[in-house]
Chain A
Amino acid sequence: MKIRWILPFLIVLLSSNNAFAMHIADGIISLQWSLLWFALVIPFIFLGIGKIKKLSESELFFKPLIGLLTALVFIISVMPIPVPIVGTCSHPTGVAVSSIILGPFVSVIVSAVALLFQALFLAHGGLTTLGANIFSMGVVGSFTSYAIFRLCRKMGLGIILAGFLAGIMADWTTYAATSFQLASGLAKEGEMLSLLWKISLAFVPTQLPLGIIEGGITAGALLLLYKRRKDILLKMNVLQEEGK
């Protein structure tokens, strides 16, 4: 009896070298759920666009900068990283870096464009599930990492540790949101919680270590910026004048 429960997870873990299991593909969740996630994401998109318009009125470099950072997030999130222990690959989200530097609303736009590119060119994620994927990666990931970073800084933690924690939480909360979306979209009446548990369990072996790697990447990126181009961190309000 036990093997019936263990087998699918074993196959999931062993069958693929590139388990890009992060973004929800087209066709998995129903049309109603897709529309619901789009509806939830639209206000964030428009707030993000409003923010970009306002900022680019005073600074002409802002739009090209967002374009470049989106390209960077796209590159980070298509890097399949083999996760130690389980022998599968997954990929970091890259939203922690963008939300810390650009702020959460603009980071939603960065994620939206990166996800659209992934869906169109690489068949990672999907077009009808774009709303759901933007919600998990763009909204949940960006806002959590930004909030954690700011909270840690207020508590007096250094920029590196704050970045590390923000990176970890961006990854873990994104996957938690994806698990919830999958469970709510696939579950029949009454089996939502058990399905959520199974899906979360399937994500744990890859996402637990990957979250820590993403934290390391975010901290490393901020450390390098702090050492070499502190002016960028000051310009983007990541650091205050006297801040460390």
Chain B
Amino acid sequence: MENTLALLFGLTMLSMSATSRMKSYLKMLSIQGLLLFLIFYAFMEQFNALNFCFLAFETLGVKMIIIPLFIWRIIKKGKIYRDTSPSIPKFYSLVAATIILFSGFVFSVFLKKMLINTNPLSFGVALSTIIISLFFITIRKKVITGVIGYIMMENGIFLLSLSVEKEMPIIVNMGILLDLFIAVFILGLLVKRISRTFEDNDMDSLKVLKDSVDDN
């Protein structure tokens, strides 16, 4: 069961690397939130009410609903519905993502013996998710897609921490969630400011500060 869910999670990453529509990115982010909840549920060995409620809130509340809605509001205000002209064509980025995901599977098979108390498949998927997200951030040009890439990466890290079957203290979990939430919030606000000040949403426009340029 958990392996199927981890595979589905990997597939959402492929779907994200093949599309350029913001709406589909956000849909996939929501699906990832749901999948993370299901994976957490599938991995759960003993029921701990506090931990369950907290993680359910984190996955279903924050990752599935609040963050995508927040990003959608920014997208609507800035009227950026697509990230056109990425650095490399979509087809190649899909191929690259597939190769990374496949390497993740191979890696997990090789490391099976070394992974104690860890689900190898979700571990491999999580690692490849992190790498695909970094790749995604590098090739996309809009600042908002950078934020989406960051959230994808955080989802990958969450999956990684789920695959290692060790519980963090609740205070740490709360801190992590708070940090993620505030980081996305601040990045969102900065995206708004950037589109207002630079009249452009491309990362390339952020070139005011450079060593060779007399910045101020």
Do A and B assemble together? no
Mark A residues whose CB is within 8 Å of B.
none
